Amino acid sequence: MKSNKPGLNTICTHVGGVEDKEFKGAISPLYMSSSYAYENVDIKRYPRYFNTPNQEALCKKIAMLENAEEALLFGSGMAAVSTTILAFLEQGDHIVLQKTLYGGTFNFVSEELNKFGIEYSFTEGFSETDFISAIKENTKVIFIETPSNPLMLLTDIEMISRTAKERGIITMIDNTFATPINQTPIDLGIDISIHSATKYMGGHSDISAGAVAASEEHIQRIWNKAKNLGGNLSDFTVWLLERSMKTMAIRVKAQNRNAKKMAKWLEKHPLVAKVHYPGLKSHPDYQLAKKQMRGYTGVVSFELSESADTGKFTEALKLVKRSMSLAGVESTILSPIKTSHFLLSPEERSRQGISDGLLRLSVGIEDKKDLIADFEQAFEKVSEEQFEKI
């Protein structure tokens, strides 16, 4: 039977706007009001109650994209992550987290949870055995992030859902890298899907926001915590995010295509030792990627061969800028050991498989030929310098 649900592009463009009844404008009017006349005691509109007209409208779009009943918006990805984790854990509870996680999530867990008397464990790896052996009697939540940053390793989402359901454990996923365009974890049994909307949902490097999608019951529980912690998103940014999300499906699909082409091109380059991209047959999780993802994202990590210097290479790039963040329409590049993973000891980095030559490329929507030309001239520059040294 064919589903009546609109396709991803149509949801992005049409679902969940605020209707302009008065002037019939094409876009959502922006309600900046922080004060609303009350109709009855049940409906009190207020920005920190997460129920202003623009917030409610955009949440409908996000919920439908994630195949969730409801969604909530936050002021940052970390507001979404921290509020959601705290909503499901009480003193004496335990949370199992995947070994490799976004740095901010790792810091939140390791610096804050003790204060609430909440226990946590990180898994040794990504396998079923790794997760099962980390589960304890008081485990209430399993938290995963797939694909993970920066090596683009995957966790089997269905395996996690099954393992957790058998034990009555709630599952959360950080779905930022994949986006609902490439991966809908709730369809695979995950309870709660979390986003840094600062990345692909925003997509233009000009918004800080977060989002959570889940069942009505789970969103109610997160809302109860969210109104106390107060991490709501300003309505102006909600409005900007709605504008961004209208093009999310076409942006992300273009980024998927460009990234796959760049990954294949890099794999053949003599100065590249290794490419990490789940859409490549050489990636250890290629089969799993085909099973649980529709596209393989715009992020490609690769290792320069030992003879090439990452600093000189990234400096030589002209079109592709060095940047801490990712997922914009413009391509950016970063050296994990100099930025995101700078504070880790060399031993810890090598345990996580992060080599000195590793670079993380966030592929934008430029023409492939221009990206390749930029990479080619930068590779030429580093190989000339090597030649001079000899």
List contacts with ligand PLP (CB under 6 A). Answer: 76-78, 102, 104, 145, 149, 174, 176-177, 196, 198-199, 208, 210
Q: Which is nearer to ligand PLP, 178 or 382 (CB)?
A: 178
Dist. CA 202–CA 238, nearest whole Å = 10
Dist. CA 373–CA 181, nearest whole Å = 29
Dist. CA 259–CA 298, nearest whole Å = 5
Q: Which is nearer to ligand PLP, 55 or 76 (CB)?
A: 76
Report yes or no: 255 and 221 within 8 Å, Cβ to Cβ: no
For the CB of residue 197, give the shortest distance to ligand PLP in the complex, in Å: 7
Dist. CA 123–CA 204, nearest whole Å = 34
For the CB of residue 194, give the shortest distance to ligand PLP in the complex, in Å: 8
Given phi > 0 = left and psi -120 to 50 = alpha, else beta, which region is 327? Answer: left
Q: Which is nearer to ligand PLP, 161 or 193 (CB)?
A: 193
Comparing C-alpha atoms, which of 321, 316, 331 is closest to residue 271? Answer: 316
SS3 225: helix
For the CB of residue 76, give the shortest distance to ligand PLP in the complex, in Å: 3
For the CB of residue 148, give the shortest distance to ligand PLP in the complex, in Å: 8
For the CB of residue 170, give the shortest distance to ligand PLP in the complex, in Å: 18
Q: Which is nearer to ligand PLP, 63 or 194 (CB)?
A: 194
Report yes or no: 332 and 325 within 8 Å, Cβ to Cβ: yes
Q: Which is nearer to ligand PLP, 139 or 179 (CB)?
A: 179
CB atoms closer than 10 angstroms to residue 246: 17
Q: In the Cβ-directed half-sphere of 260, how many Cα atoms lie within 13 Å?
A: 14
Comparing C-alpha atoms, which of 336, 218, 360 is closest to residue 276? Answer: 360
For the CB of residue 360, give the shortest distance to ligand PLP in the complex, in Å: 11
For the CB of residue 268, give the shortest distance to ligand PLP in the complex, in Å: 29
Dist. CA 251–CA 179, nearest whole Å = 11
Q: Which residue is nearest to ligand PLP (CB)?
A: 77
Backbone angles phi, psi at 361, to 5 degrees: -105, 125
Q: Which is nearer to ligand PLP, 84 or 208 (CB)?
A: 208
H or E element at residue 103:
helix 103-112
The two most distant CA atoms of the chain are separated, in Å, by 80
Q: For residue 165, give both structure tokens.
A: 């359901």
For the CB of residue 334, give the shortest distance to ligand PLP in the complex, in Å: 12
The DSSP code for 319 is S
Report yes or no: 86 and 120 within 8 Å, Cβ to Cβ: no
Q: Which is nearer to ligand PLP, 169 or 326 (CB)?
A: 326
For the CB of residue 328, give the shortest distance to ligand PLP in the complex, in Å: 12
Comparing C-alpha atoms, which of 347, 355, 362, 345 is closest to residue 272? Answer: 355
Lookup result for tokens 């290629």 = 286
For the CB of residue 123, give the shortest distance to ligand PLP in the complex, in Å: 17
